[in-house]
Amino acid sequence: MNFVSNIPLFLQVSDYFKHLIDVGAYKENEMLPSVREVANTYNINPNTVFKAYEILVKDGYIYSVYKKGFYVKKGIENNNQLFLKEKIDELLTANYSLSEIIEYCQSLQKEKNKK
Q: What is the mean pLDDT of the chain?
A: 88
CB-side exposure of 61: number of CA atoms within 13 Å?
26
CB-side exposure of 78: number of CA atoms within 13 Å?
8
pLDDT at 38: 96
CATH class of 9-72: mainly alpha
Check whether 72 has a pLDDT greater than 80.
yes
CA of residue 37 relative to chain centroid, distance: 19
Check whether 78 has a pLDDT greater than 70.
no
Q: Provide the residue ranges of all domains of the chain, joining segments of one domain with +.
A: 9-72, 77-114
**Whole-angstrom Cα distance, residue 20 to residue 14?**
10
Quote the strand ranges of the chain, DSSP E.
62-65, 69-72
Check whether 22 has a pLDDT greater than 60.
yes
Q: Which residue has the higher pLDDT, 11 or 81?
A: 11
